[in-house]
Amino acid sequence: MKDVKGKVAFVTGAASGMGLGMARAFAAAGMKVMIGDIEAEPAQRAVDELKGKGLQAACVKVDVTSLEAMQEAARKTVDTFGKVHVLCNNAGVGCGGRSETAKMRNWHWVVDVNLWGVVHGLQAFVPLIQSHGEGGHVVSTASVAGMISIPGTGPYNATKYAVVGIMETMMAEQKDANLGVSVLCPGLVATNLGTSARNRQDQYGGAAKPNPKDAIAGSLADGLDPDIVGRLVLEAIEANQPYIFTNPALAHLMENRFRNIAAGNAWAASSKALAGVKQSAKLPG
Ligand SMILES: NC(=O)c1ccc[n+]([C@@H]2O[C@H](COP(=O)([O-])OP(=O)(O)OC[C@H]3O[C@@H](n4cnc5c(N)ncnc54)[C@H](O)[C@@H]3O)[C@@H](O)[C@H]2O)c1
């Protein structure tokens, strides 16, 4: 999307952190921004801040774990601003713990917010973006933890790999369409992710103070300024950039993963079980 001025963006998790950074960057570029967040008061403060600068913004309280709530948020966005062009599936929660020992309710919480929240966003908003023919862009926030597996955060990593998979699939499906598709894979960013359990819904155990043993709940204070990430996402939408990384210095970790994957294929090629088996080098699709 080269010309974002006057276009409408819906951003989940925009009351705080990177989502707020996106809302600020989009509004400053002349976009109309609908903030969707489970925390109503910070969302309203964000709207007041933007409106105080003469920018266009509104908010809706939404829990991304509910498809119906996301569909209602989509209706409110169109009622308020007429159309929607940009969706940022950004709301997410940090949750540490190993896959085999993390509390099951935390597994369900992180999957419901970080994975189902993205699916609900796509289902509720993409048909609306496609309906007006003016084009648009979808950005989902994954993480470098969707590219490399950080020990001690199995459930979180699982959701972020899933988001990368969904968005890479969409990139291929939408390559000839008027819809840009990006996946945001931040490194450390100085946000409130370490206190995610402030928003934990009752069905997952309710609100709680951060667990000091959580790998993710460690200090994020030295991370990147989330407003820089907001400006980076705007730049990526304008450039139709599919992968949005915030810390290129981490590239070696991803290259190391690809080397390990290549070694796995080389091992299979020399295995006794596959010796002499002829297979196609193509996949369907
Ligand atoms: N901070 C980092 O270092 C980092 C790194 C990689 C990826 N991420 C991802 O970035 C995204 C944004 O997180 P952040 O770091 O800005 O944290 P943050 O806590 O500052 O912001 C997250 C926002 O999501 C909202 N939210 C939480 N649960 C919700 C729900 N069920 N429905 C609607 N809104 C909900 C929160 O109220 C908050 O406003 C998340 O997906 C996170 O996993 C963060």
Structure confidence by residue, pLDDT tens digits, 103-159:
999 999 999 999 999 999 999 999 999 999 999 999 999 999 999 999 999 999 999
Structure confidence by residue, pLDDT tens digits, 70-97:
999 999 999 999 999 999 999 999 988 9
Q: 188 near 217, Cβ under 8 Å? A: no
Q: Is the C-beta atom of 39 inside 6 A of ligand 1?
A: yes
- Ligand 1 centroid – CA 266 distance (Å): 39
The mean pLDDT value for 51-57 works out to 98
156 is catalytic: yes
- Cα(93)–Cα(26) distance, rounded to whole angstroms? 23
- Ligand 1 centroid – CA 113 distance (Å): 10
The mean pLDDT value for 206-224 works out to 76
Per-residue confidence (pLDDT) for residue 218, from 0 to 100: 58
% the chain with pLDDT above 70: 97
The mean pLDDT value for 57-77 works out to 98
- The rounded Cα 12 to chain-centroid distance in angstroms is 9
Which atom number of ligand 1 is nearest to the Cα of residue 223? 3
Local confidence band at 217 (pLDDT 50, 70, 90 cut-offs): low
Structure confidence by residue, pLDDT tens digits, 220-265:
889 999 999 999 999 999 999 999 999 999 999 999 999 999 999 9
The answer to whether residue 212 scores a pLDDT higher than 80 is: no
Element (H, E) at 86: strand 86-89
The mean pLDDT value for 174-178 works out to 95
Average pLDDT value for the chain: 96
CA-proximal residue: ligand 1, atom 32 (nearest): 63
Domains of the chain: 8-250 (3.40.50.720)
Torsion of CA 170, 171, 176, 178, to 10 degrees: 80
Which atom number of ligand 1 is nearest to the Cα of residue 191? 20
- Cα(154)–Cα(233) distance, rounded to whole angstroms? 27
Grouping H, G, I as helix, E, B as strand and the rest as coil, residue 33 is strand
Pocket test for ligand 1, best of 10, 11, 18 (most atoms within 8 A of CB): 18
Q: Is the C-beta atom of 220 inside 6 A of ligand 1?
A: yes
- Ligand 1 centroid – CA 91 distance (Å): 5
Q: Is the C-beta atom of 35 inside 6 A of ligand 1?
A: no
- 79-96: buried (b, 16+ CB within 10 Å) or exposed (e) per residue? ebbebbbbbbbbbbbbbb
The answer to whether residue 19 scores a pLDDT higher than 70 is: yes
The mean pLDDT value for 188-195 works out to 95
Which atom number of ligand 1 is nearest to the Cα of residue 65? 31
What would the 3-class secondary structure string for 184-245 be? EECCCECCCHHHHHHHCCHHHCCCCCCCCCCCCCCCCCCCECHHHHHHHHHHHHHHCCCEEE
Q: Is the C-beta atom of 199 inside 6 A of ligand 1?
A: yes
Q: Is the C-beta atom of 153 inside 6 A of ligand 1?
A: no
The token pair that represents 234 in the structure block? 């705007």
The token pair that represents 133 in the structure block? 């023919």
The token pair that represents 213 in the structure block? 């043993």
Q: Is the C-beta atom of 23 inside 6 A of ligand 1?
A: no
Count of residues for the chain?
285
* Global pTM exceeds 0.85: yes
